[in-house]
Amino acid sequence: MNIIGEINCFGFCLRLSELAPYVALLIVIAIALFAARLIIKRPEQKLLTLIGAQLAILSAIAAAFYLMKCSDMLTIHLYLAYAGISLFLIFGVLRFYDRIMIKRLGARPAREMIGWTQEFVDKLTNATVYYYDSAVPKAFAAGRSIFLSLGLLELLNDDEIKAVLAHESWHIRNNSRMPFLKQLALMTFSPQRETDIEDLADYFAAKIAGSDALFSARSKLDKIFN
C-alpha cells in the first residue's frame, strides 16, 4: 500500500470507528491550546499550554494508530522508527554532550581563573563551570556543565556574569525535564519556541542576580550579535 492509500485507509478506519469523535475532540483541544498560547503572556503558562497541546496531539496519534485495521502499514513503521531514533539521540547521545564539548573546546574549570564563579553556581545547582578560549562572547549549558567563553568573561562585569551564570543554572536545574520536552515536541511535530525556555531562564536570573544586571548583559550581547 502506498502513502496515499494509507492516508485513505486512515480516513476510512476513523469514519467507521465509534472512537473517531474522541480523536476529533483531541485535535480540537490541541488547536485550541495552540491558539491560547498565542494570547498568554507568562512564560511558564505558555510552556504548560504548549505541553498540553502536544499531549493532545500525541494521544490523537496513538488513538489513530490503535484504530487502524491494517497492522502492517508503512506510515506506522516510519513513525515508530522516527520516534526510536530521536529517543536514542536525545536520551543517549545528548546525555554525554557536555563531555564531548569539554574535549572539543579544550575547556578548563573556571575556578582556575575566576574562583567565585564556581562558588556562585554551587549555591544554585550541581554543575561545574568551565571556560574555553574563544573571542566570541558565548555561554551555554550542557549536561551538568556550564561553559563560558573568554570573550564573554572579558566583555561582562561580575554582576553581569552572575546573571549569565544564573540563567545557565536554570537550564541545568531543568535539564532532567528538557529531554522529555524535546522528545514530545519531535513526536508531535510541534517544537517549542526557544524564546519560551529562554524567558523562563531570564526570569530566574533576574530574581537571583537582579534585573539590571540581566538587562545590561543582554544589551552588551545584543550590540555584538545584532
* Rounded Cα–Cα distance for residues 104 and 198 (Å): 25
Sign of CA dihedral 127, 177, 192, 35: negative
pLDDT, one tens digit per residue, over 187-211 is: 888 776 667 788 888 999 999 999 9
**Would you place residue 2 in the very low, low, confident or very high pLDDT band (cuts 50, 70, 90)?**
low
Is pLDDT above 90 for 76? no
Most confident range (mean pLDDT) of 5-19, 27-41, 73-87 is 27-41
CA angle 173, 112, 137 (to 5 degrees): 65
Pick the CATH number of 95-225 from 3.30.2010.10, 3.30.2080.10, 3.90.950.20, 2.120.10.30: 3.30.2010.10
Dihedral of CA atoms 205, 206, 210, 215 in degrees, nearest 10, equals 100
- State what percent of residues in the chain have pLDDT above 90: 36
> The pTM is what?
0.69
Which carries the bigger pLDDT value, residue 109 or residue 186?
A: 109
Q: Domain spans of the chain?
A: 3-70, 95-225
